[in-house]
Copies of this chain bind each other. A is one copy, B any other.
Amino acid sequence: MIETIEWTPAGVVMIDQTRLPREQVFVTCHDYREVAQAIRAMVVRGAPAIGVAAAMGVALGVLGADPARLDEEFREICDTLAATRPTAVNLFWAIERMKRVYAEARSGPVEAIRERLAAEARQIKLEDIAINKAIGGNGAPLVPDGRTVMTHCNAGALATAGYGTALGVIRAAVAAGKRIDVIAGETRPFLQGARLTVWELQQDGIPATLITDNMAGYFLKSGRIGCVVVGADRIAANGDVANKIGTYSLAVLAKENEVPFYVAAPVSTLDLALESGERIPIEQRPESEVTHVFGVPVAPEGIRVENPAFDVTPNRYVTAIITERGVAEAPYAESLRALVESKEVVAR
């Protein structure tokens, strides 16, 4: 299995997700600004993965910081990384975690601070893999045997430190012996489904079929789909879910056709400070992502474009939210709060 992101002596190494699956190219970020740029350009993407990337970016930044101006540079490092992408809360969660470690270690020698931060970033990565396996274990019983699972975007190993959230549920269901196959929407404009999800599933030998996003309704209406499983970039206290653009449409179409709609995400994706999804900031990405595919123009010059990268699915369309601590159902205000307050990883 290819590593999404790694802490190495040479820097933070990432597989370049803008070039998959045609090329497997690894990028080494030598300072925190390069990490920030890699997040912005979606060399690394996926809410949990950009959390890990941000944590490693902070550690890398402090490694290169001037000990005489440490607090000032630390603030600059954190601010730069936090400004890369607005929607996925895992980014901010990881930076906050690094800030706490920094505050604890601040009174010690600079070498100790650096070691603590690097260790914490590696720890966040290791935890993420364990969390995804727990999400998979909790979600697998919900996947109907002998049916097709629909997913959107890439909530796989490449969107995380490994194993994946939505694809983690699928992997765990397959590991549990369920005979399932997957339909993946290509996920325009960035084509995470076409480029990343079906590629991951192909490597695992899990039968996968690629469709264009506008075919999802056709298949949800057909009776073939046993459930939809997607990831999340931020979940509000009431269970509203921000995720890749198109998720809302899938959720409405799933409900209309009585297909269960599951969201798989770590507890770090919960943002209980936001009462509802209406207040989740939605990133607007460059027009060129829509007008061009791999550099090839697909639209006339000068045309206006909108490119919201995420949408918000209201909680009434969400059958359940699968986390590493258990499965939350409506009313979400209570069930999500209970998950955050429980420290145990609850295995179903």
Identify which of A104-112, A126-134, A189-197 touches chain B.
Answer: A189-197
A260 at the interface (CB under 8 A from B): no
Given A21-B300, A298-B293, A299-B194, A306 contacting B252 (CB threshold 8 A): no
Whether A213 lies near B210 (C-beta < 8 A) is: no
**In angstroms, how far is the closest chain B Cβ from the Cβ of A208?**
7
Residues on B with C-beta less than 8 A from A211 are: 290, 305-307
- Copies of this chain present in the complex amount to 2
A214 at the interface (CB under 8 A from B): yes
Residues on B with C-beta less than 8 A from A208 are: 303-304
In the complex, residue of chain B having the shortest beta-carbon distance to the beta carbon of A311: B218
Within 8 A of B (CB), among A266-295: 290-291, 293-294
Q: What secondary structure prevails in chain A residues at the interface with B?
A: mixed
Given A195-B298, A293-B298, A252 contacting B217 (CB threshold 8 A): yes
Identify which of A160-168, A241-249, A324-332 touches chain B.
Answer: A241-249
A22 at the interface (CB under 8 A from B): yes
Whether A186 lies near B252 (C-beta < 8 A) is: no
The residues of A with any CB-CB pair to B shorter than 8 Å are 21-22, 152, 183, 185-189, 191, 194-195, 198-199, 202, 207-219, 221, 245-246, 248-249, 252-253, 256, 290-291, 293-294, 296-300, 302-308, 311
3 smallest beta-carbon distances between A and B, as pairs: A214-B246, A217-B249, A188-B212
- Since A211-B305, A218-B308, A293-B293 are in contact, a sample of 16 more A-B pairs with Cβ atoms closer than 8 Å, ordered by chain A residue number, is A22-B297, A194-B298, A195-B298, A198-B300, A198-B303, A199-B299, A210-B304, A210-B305, A212-B246, A212-B307, A213-B213, A215-B306, A218-B249, A218-B311, A249-B249, A252-B256
